[in-house]
Chains A and B, each alone.
Chain A
Amino acid sequence: MAHGPAKGIGRWLFTTNHKDIGTLYLWFSFAMFLLGGFFAMVIRAELFEPGMQIIKPEFFNQMTTMHGLVMVFGAIMPAFVGLANWMIPMMIGAPDMALPRMNNLSFWILPFAFTLLASTLFMEGGAPNFGWTFYAPLSTTYAPDTVNYFIFGVHIMGASSIMGSINIIATVLNMRAPGMTLMKMPMFVWTWLITAFLLIAVMPVLAGAVTMMLMDINFGTSFFSAAGGGDPVLFQHVFWFFGHPEVYIIILPAFGVISHIIPTFSRKPLFGYSSMVYATASIAFLSFIVWAHHMFLVGMPIGGELYFMYATMLIAVPTAAKIFNWISTMFRGSMTFETPMLFAIAFIILFTIGGFTGLMMAIAPSDIQYHDSYFIVAHFHYVMVAGAVFSGTAAVYYWLPKWCGRMYDETMGKVQFWVSFIGFNLAFFPQHFLGLAGMPRRYADYALQFSDWNMISSIGAFTYGAAQLLFMFNVIRTIRSGTPVSEPKTWEGAEGLEWTLATPVPYHTFSTPPEVK
């Protein structure tokens, strides 16, 4: 019936197949993960001891900025789009994504965006150096000329995300197998559907922010310059109106992944499916009305301050419900601890810690001390790395055997897990202490009382970095020479349409829609 993939490079350039595009996204994001990780290693090497040893402060700022931008926009977001491309059609019984050519385009503009961004490292004036949050006027009046490359890069990334989201929404709403009502959709599909709406809502806001910057820099407007009647704080409002939903864009699909892995290895259905759906939707809604908790120190009136504090604290409620649901899923299950499950459990523990520090920072008076210190650096690495990256790693181990019909090396996977887990905590737990003791973030150099925890943090970061090379090795080894597997269900407890397909998954699937009861 169906033909196989085309031969040669053309297969990848012109492909409209959701699995090929998913693979492209995943490899691209892994490449960006290594690049962003390399920047992180430079940062931690410089911070190993007080004093400037390896790089200059101006280059240090370029490293922190590029690390953040590459990790958020290049590594984590495309990784989950890759997983969505692979899994959504298989999970809802569709033959492919609804808009396959746009799918191709939304991937293939990404390498250009990041080439533009990374090329600034080699230009006069250097790469963007104003932090991934690019606050004006540091990013406008005081920015190097290369900021224009950054702006164009962000526009392209935004276009890619919006196209990807349209595609996901169109696929999920139109191409579900007969009988699969919305409330029967797998959690990963649900979380991605909600994420896609978030993306469509906020990526244009980001585009607006960078366009206003472009105007201020090149065409004499003063959106963000007080001297011309503008307001630097306006930039922060616009940025965080994008930026806060953005963190949920990153974490919601991770919630989806965990909601598949925990039931599979507990051999028990997900506890509280409908409450999980409602919790996800509530978190998405709340994400739009809490943005100024990133700006507690800009001198807001007290009414605004109190409102944003209360609204932010509310997010703890649906998030806690999710944690309780996962734990109830595990309770009285029949658990085994393969690599994906280990990463999923670590996700629950570490994400909860990150959630608690988030709650602490929601308290406006205490945030005075936490704000812009290493405490926040620790917090967002607990939710971004232990949240998004751990769950992405779990997802790859979980579905890789299904994708390529070969089993990964379980021992190597477990070694990678433990090295990652120990390295991660060694790197980031001490950063809580550093922040509370008074070390601000984005510091190229620091006072002597911060020396010891910084050294430990650097050792942890190098350890965590090394574990990722092990991950790459394990994945490549699996694809090339892993033990072949052929049962449709890789995992005893796995449920869902994707596990009814042959292993490895054929190039085209579900040409006839399956029936969902």
Chain B
Amino acid sequence: MSRRANMLFALVLAPVLALVSSGSALAEEAQRWAINMPKGVTPVSNAIYDIHMTIFWICVVICVGVFGVMFYSMYVHRKSRGAVAANFHENTTAEVVWTVIPALILVVMAIPATKTLINIYDAADAEIDVKITGYQWKWQYEYLGEDVTYLSELATPESEIYNTAPKSQYYLQEVSQPLVIPVKTKVRFLITAKDVIHSWWVPDFGVKKDAIPGLVTESWTYVEEPGVYRGECAELCGKGHAFMPIVVNVLEKEEYNAWLGEKKTEVAAIRELAKKTFTLDELMVKGEEAYNRSCASCHMANGEGIPGVFPGLKGSVVAVGDISKHLDVVVNGVSGTAMQAFGGQLSEVDLAAIITYERNAWGNDTGDVVQPIDVLKFKQGQ
């Protein structure tokens, strides 16, 4: 109840709050009632903000002028005040004036816009190249030349989304592993997608670029302050569109190098793990976890899919039939359908665990065990 009252109170005060956002309690309220674009932390985002504000104020001035005349007229030239209509209906000079003046204002707007755009398009001389791949519904980050690749998925639990648990501070804005980049370094993003079109947006960087299957688009950033920056997918990409956020962790350069070193070790360890032989139980535990992360959004946690859109796996021909067919579908995907090729996304251990899980869960009791080495052999054999 008090929340409602509070809300109405704040509604009235919102514009005022935005103006006096210097006080700390007020600053928090102002952020909650944010009404403007963030200035951001890159030269590009700052330039965009400046153009945005310039044009906004030009529009406000024109609005005040035009509506001022209109409201004056509405007040003074009313029949109830005894106004008698004039009969003028043409004036070439006026027409010329109000065609030429807006055209000149547009030229004034176009100059800074053109300069900024040329700068935005200059992605040359980047020190680090990160390839960003959009999938339904997660991002993959690949540090080109560094042999580091990983997926970044939503970390908010379903229980918060479906209101059975209280929502945390960064509800829908937290991921399994953020993108990590160093501060004060030009980082180039090569953006693409593997299934449908996504769009990679971090407002604080002033970076938004479509991720298009079959094409690679380019963008770049130069972040001036370390910190955690949050963004989201901006192009409708199916049912998980709202659930594939972006988190970028901007570190000092030394911290970044340390992180990259750790990451490389981690990758090597995972590769080593692929040589190990697991028991059915181990694979089932790993498999359930990996399945829920990578497969359940379409095939559902109960393996029943969504009729007419995503096929169920419970008792399906693929999941209880020939193992190599099952491997083929998971590793290579099914072209012409929404089934992605997971071979390049997941580790051999995860792939083996998922396939084993699918062949033994929900009453698919085939007893089959697929080891990471089997997946590796399958991949090498094709």
Contacts and interface: CB of A to CB of B under 8 A. Distances in A.
B238 A142 contact: yes
Interface string B195-221: 111010101001111101111011000
Contact of B99 (A302, A321, A368, A437): A321
DSSP majority for the B interface? Answer: mixed
Contacts of A364: 113, 117
Interface string A343-384: 001001100110010011001111011011100000000000
B80 A446 contact: no
B69 interface: yes
Interface in B212-242: 212-215, 217-218, 230-242
B84 interface: yes
Given A299-B215, A365-B113, A447-B171, A452 B89 contact: no
A455 B241 CA distance: 21
A223 B236 CA distance: 20
Interface stretch (B157-165, B178-186, B254-262, B350-358): B157-165
B163 A51 contact: yes
Interface size class of A (residues with CB under 8 A): 35 or more
Contacts of A436: 34-37
Interface string A117-131: 000000111100111
A409 interface: no
Closest 4 CB pairs of A and B: A226-B214, A125-B308, A124-B308, A299-B217
Interface stretch (A32-40, A170-178, A266-274, A476-484): A266-274
Interface of A: 50-53, 56-58, 61, 123-126, 129-131, 135, 137-138, 141-142, 144-145, 225-227, 231-233, 266-275, 297-299, 302, 305-306, 309-310, 313-314, 316-317, 320-321, 323-324, 327-337, 345, 348-349, 352-353, 356, 359-360, 363-366, 368-369, 371-373, 432-433, 436-438, 440-449, 452-453, 455-456, 493
Interface stretch (B279-287, B331-339, B359-367, B374-382): B331-339
B120 interface: yes
B106 interface: yes
Contacts of B114: 306, 309
Contact of B51 (A131, A365, A438): A365
B210 A53 contact: no
Given A141-B338, A369-B52, A436-B37, A51 B63 contact: no
A371 B235 CA distance: 9
Interface of B: 7, 10-11, 31-38, 45, 47-48, 51-52, 55-56, 59, 62-63, 66-67, 69-70, 73-74, 77-80, 83-91, 94-95, 98-99, 102-103, 106, 109-110, 113-114, 116-118, 120-121, 136, 160-163, 167, 169-173, 195-197, 199, 201, 203, 206-210, 212-215, 217-218, 230-243, 245, 306-309, 335-338
A164 B63 CA distance: 37
Given A138-B237, A366-B113, 10 more contacts: A58-B306, A232-B213, A302-B121, A317-B99, A334-B83, A352-B63, A369-B45, A372-B199, A436-B35, A452-B33
Contacts of A446: 172, 242
A242 B26 CA distance: 47
Given A138-B238, A302-B118, A335-B83, A52 B110 contact: no
A440 B217 contact: no
Contact of B89 (A142, A268, A373, A445): A268
B217 A317 contact: no
Question: Which of B62, B94, B235, B245 has the most chain A CB atoms inside 10 A of its CB?
Answer: B235
A324 B100 CA distance: 13
Given A332-B85, A335-B74, A436-B36, A447 B173 contact: yes
Nearest to B170: A447
A352 B231 CA distance: 31
A321 B172 contact: no
Contacts of A275: 95
A51 B164 CA distance: 10
B117 A309 contact: yes
Contacts of A231: 214-215
A57 B239 contact: yes
Given A335-B83, A356-B59, A365-B48, A433 B215 contact: no
A515 B209 CA distance: 60
Contacts of B62: 356
A271 B88 contact: yes
A321 B299 CA distance: 56
